[in-house]
């Protein structure tokens, strides 16, 4: 599926803050979990769209370290959807050539979820069409703190360099996101890729995540394509 006649610059790595599931559901008089179910369907489509557009890395902010503070019933429902995703969707993504990776503190999840994560990563490790990075129990500040603590544990000699910190991040081999998209109309980073997103381009849309589809992704990529990235240069 070409964009702008095939002339657009395609970002190698797109990160998405998938916001607005609950507001989408509330607007329709539905419970929050219905919005999360709709969001999971949108996720499947966007992975396919990104793959078709030629995106090599797609990172998705699925569950933050702060999300545990939500209503326990909602959190329980989210864990159920996570289990469903691991059970029913991994095979399909594998068939599409997608590699799946999970980034975050997995020790907070139940054993069956951790095992499902391990199996999904192992099953898709040799795939190369697109790399899908799902950020769960992830927080950018915590990632940086963990990296510093790893350096301390290894008795890293001062001064600490950027390269040293980067080497201890959760996924140091993944390139920084070129473009970060946030759905739902909010204009903030919400603790997503704080280190990696230092020079990312941002795109904000009022569309709630369940409404975000291939057309919206095209618009975001087209906007990115028109920008001149200077990385602090004049």
* CATH number where 124 lies: 3.40.1180.10
Q: Is 49 exposed, middle or buried (0-12, 13-18, 19+ CB in 10 A)?
A: buried
| Tokens found for residue 7 | 């002339």
**Local confidence band at 229 (pLDDT 50, 70, 90 cut-offs):** confident
Give a yes or no: residue 148 inside a domain: yes
Q: What percentage of the chain reaches a pLDDT higher than 90?
A: 88
CA angle 193, 209, 176 (to 5 degrees): 20
Average pLDDT, the chain: 94
Give a yes or no: residue 234 inside a domain: no
Give a yes or no: residue 213 inside a domain: yes
Asked if pLDDT for residue 3 goes beyond 90, the answer is no
Asked if pLDDT for residue 56 goes beyond 80, the answer is yes
**pLDDT at 138 (0 to 100):** 98
Asked if pLDDT for residue 49 goes beyond 60, the answer is yes
Q: Is 139 exposed, middle or buried (0-12, 13-18, 19+ CB in 10 A)?
A: buried
| Tokens found for residue 150 | 């790893």
Give a yes or no: residue 230 inside a domain: no
**pLDDT at 234 (0 to 100):** 58
**pLDDT at 206 (0 to 100):** 98
Asked if pLDDT for residue 6 goes beyond 90, the answer is no
**CB neighbourhood size of 184 (10 A):** 20
Count the domains in the chain. 1
Give a yes or no: residue 233 inside a domain: no
Average pLDDT over residues 104-121: 96
Asked if pLDDT for residue 4 goes beyond 80, the answer is no
Asked if pLDDT for residue 7 goes beyond 80, the answer is no
What is the reported pTM? 0.94
Asked if pLDDT for residue 75 goes beyond 80, the answer is yes
**Local confidence band at 156 (pLDDT 50, 70, 90 cut-offs):** confident
At 130-152, the pLDDT tens digits run 999 999 999 999 999 999 999 99
Q: Which residues are catalytic?
A: 19, 67
**pLDDT at 222 (0 to 100):** 96
Asked if pLDDT for residue 5 goes beyond 60, the answer is no
Asked if pLDDT for residue 231 goes beyond 80, the answer is no
Give a yes or no: residue 2 inside a domain: no
DSSP for the chain, please give it: --SGGGTSPPPSEEEEE---HHHHHHHTT--HHHHHHHHHHHHHHHHHHHHHHT-SEEEEEEEEGGGGGS-HHHHHHHHHHHHHHHHHTHHHHHHTTEEEEEES-GGGS-HHHHHHHHHHHHHHTT--SEEEEEEEEE-HHHHHHHHHHHHHHTTPPSSPPHHHHHHTSS-TTSPPPSEEEE-TT--S-TTSSTTTTTT-EEEE-SS-GGG--HHHHHHHHHHHHT----TT--
Give a yes or no: residue 55 inside a domain: yes
Give a yes or no: residue 122 inside a domain: yes
**pLDDT at 233 (0 to 100):** 64
66: domain range?
10-225
Average pLDDT over residues 39-44: 94
Asked if pLDDT for residue 129 goes beyond 60, the answer is yes
Q: How far apart are CA 34 and CA 23, in angstroms?
A: 11
């Amino acid at each position: 599926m070409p964009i702008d006649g095939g002339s657009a610059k395609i970002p190698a790595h797109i990160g998405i803050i998938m916001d607005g599931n609950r507001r989408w559901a509330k607007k329709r008089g539905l419970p929050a979990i219905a919005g999360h179910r709709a969001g999971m369907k949108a996720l499947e489509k966007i992975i396919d769209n990104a793959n078709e557009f030629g995106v090599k890395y797609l990172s998705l902010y699925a569950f933050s370290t702060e999300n545990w503070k939500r209503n326990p019933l909602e959190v329980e429902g989210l864990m159920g959807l996570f289990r469903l995703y691991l059970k029913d969707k991994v095979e399909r993504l594998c068939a599409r050539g997608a590699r799946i990776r999970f980034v975050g503190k997995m020790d907070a999840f139940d054993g069956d979820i951790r095992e499902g994560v391990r199996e999904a990563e192992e099953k898709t490790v040799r795939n190369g069409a697109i790399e899908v990075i799902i950020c769960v129990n992830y927080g950018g500040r915590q990632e940086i703190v963990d990296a510093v603590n790893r350096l301390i544990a290894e008795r890293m000699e001062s001064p600490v360099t950027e390269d040293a910190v980067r080497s201890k991040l959760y996924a140091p081999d993944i390139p920084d996101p070129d473009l970060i998209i946030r759905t739902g109309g909010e204009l903030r980073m919400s603790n997503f890729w704080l280190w990696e997103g230092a020079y990312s381009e941002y795109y904000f849309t009022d569309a709630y995540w369940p409404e975000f589809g291939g057309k919206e992704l095209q618009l975001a990529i087209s906007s990115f394509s028109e920008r001149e990235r200077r990385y602090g240069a004049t």
